Amino acid sequence: MEQGNVRPETMERITNEALANAFIEEQIKALREQIGDKKVLLALSGGVDSSVCAALISKAVGKQLICVHVNHGLLRKGEPEQVCEVFGKQFDVNLIYVDAIDRFLDALAGVSEPEQKRKIIGKIFIDVFAEEARKLEGVSFLGQGTIYPDILESHGVKAHHNVGGLPEDMQNFELVEPVKLLYKDEVRVVGKALGLPDNMVYRQPFPGPGLGVRCVGAITRDRLEALREADAIVREEIGKLPETPWQYFCAIPDIVSTGIRYVDGKGVRYMGWAVVIRAVNTVDAVTATVPEIPFSVLCKMRDQIVKIPGVNRVLWDISEKPVATIEWE
């Protein structure tokens, strides 16, 4: 492991605003020295790591930072809008918003194998990002939200944001990684001190392929929209609990079951989807337990979710890891 990628033993854990502010000032100085008058390009997903990275670089070099937010249609409800609001308006960064929804979903149509879905999403993301980067001039640096666990796990690079995944003509960027020596809890403290909103700072772990691996099987647009709406309900209601689980979301398997609805007083049978609610607690994501959710909360979610077009059933996944993984795909 490169020397610059090793966290010094003397580095104090960032646990409060004062320590966070000291880190921010230190990084602003280091970033200005590294970047000079050049431009930095950053793929901004809206996750806590890339968001804190973007906010730090923005504070250091302002409009020299160019962020690219690719909307692949697999984000949670309201996330693209929040990224545009926070970074386009509040932080006033140069933000390029790319609506690539049709491109992604057309390529994913009919593809049911999870690993193939991941590869398609990853490849198109890199293609779209590279296309936007080629339109720009004078970019010398690539910003990345690498954090210390990424370095420990992958010996120095964050695999799904790795510059090595870009085309050859774009691999001469110098990396800018201001939070690479921080643990996730420290990144959140720094994000809070930078003024990022709580629902961005405390954003739950979210898979790189987004809702693509929670819309189980071949993705259809109607089932994906139903999942997005159901996910928003689950996050809203479970998020109100006094103690929230480590992660909570939902999935929609590619199956239908018989439902009944009443039209003009007559019962009409129809086939609809089942929404599966998933909530887990874990320390390391290697094992996971399932916390109890009050039955009244489950019923409240159920009553809202079954109003979503196409949904007629709500299930609660109480499987632990092992044997079940946290995500459905």
Q: pLDDT (tens digit, 9 = 90+) per residue, 316-327?
A: 999 999 999 999
For 181-246, strand residue ranges (E) read: none
pLDDT recorded at residue 154 = 66
CA dihedral sign of residues 34, 40, 43, 48: positive
Helix (H, G, I), strand (E, B) or coil at 91: coil
pLDDT recorded at residue 149 = 84
Q: How much of the chain, in percent, has pLDDT values that exceed 70?
A: 95
Work out the average pLDDT over 35-64.
Answer: 95
pLDDT recorded at residue 164 = 47
Q: What is the DSSP code string of 92-130?
A: --EEEEEE-HHHHHHHHTT---HHHHHHHHHHHHHHHHH
Q: How far apart are CA 28 and CA 21, in angstroms?
A: 10
- Return the CATH class of domain 3-201: alpha beta
pLDDT recorded at residue 160 = 42
Look at 56-70, 145-159, 236-250 and tell me which has the smallest mean pLDDT. 145-159
Integer angstrom CA distances of residue 151 from 25, 174, 181:
23, 17, 8
Q: How far apart are CA 23 and CA 57, in angstroms?
A: 13
pLDDT recorded at residue 2 = 60
Tally of helices (H runs) and strands (E runs) in the chain? 10, 9
In the chain, ranges of CATH 3.40.50.620 domains: 3-201
Question: Whole-prediction pTM value?
Answer: 0.88
pLDDT recorded at residue 4 = 76
Is residue 10 predicted with pLDDT exceeding 50? Answer: yes
Other residues' Cβ atoms within 10 Å of the Cβ of residue 200: 21
Q: Sheet containing 65-71: which strands, arranged edge to edge?
A: 94-99, 65-71, 39-43, 139-143, 174-176
Is residue 189 predicted with pLDDT exceeding 90? Answer: yes
pLDDT recorded at residue 156 = 44
pLDDT recorded at residue 155 = 59
The residues, ordered by sequence, that sit 6+ positions from 238 with a Cβ below 8 Å of its Cβ are 244, 245, 248, 279, 293, 297, 301
Q: Exposed, middle or buried by CB within 10 Å (0-12, 13-18, 19+), for 14?
A: buried
Q: Quickly tell me which residue has 């006033």 as its tokens.
A: 92
Work out the average pLDDT over 69-79.
Answer: 96
Look at 75-79, 120-124, 156-160, 270-274 and tell me which has the smallest mean pLDDT. 156-160
Pick 262 or 298 by higher pLDDT: 298
pLDDT tens digits for range 262-279 = 889 899 999 999 999 999
pLDDT band at 157 (very low <50, low <70, confident <90, very high): very low
Work out the average pLDDT over 242-262.
Answer: 95
pLDDT recorded at residue 159 = 43
Pick 17 or 163 by higher pLDDT: 17
Is residue 221 predicted with pLDDT exceeding 90? Answer: yes
Helix (H, G, I), strand (E, B) or coil at 250: strand
pLDDT recorded at residue 165 = 60
pLDDT tens digits for range 92-109 = 999 999 999 999 999 999
Fold of 214-317: GMP Synthetase; Chain A, domain 3 (3.30.300)
pLDDT band at 248 (very low <50, low <70, confident <90, very high): very high
Look at 103-117, 151-165, 244-258, 283-297 and tell me which has the smallest mean pLDDT. 151-165
In the chain, ranges of CATH 3.30.300.10 domains: 214-317
Other residues' Cβ atoms within 10 Å of the Cβ of residue 121: 23
Work out the average pLDDT over 17-39.
Answer: 97
Work out the average pLDDT over 142-163.
Answer: 69
pLDDT recorded at residue 3 = 58
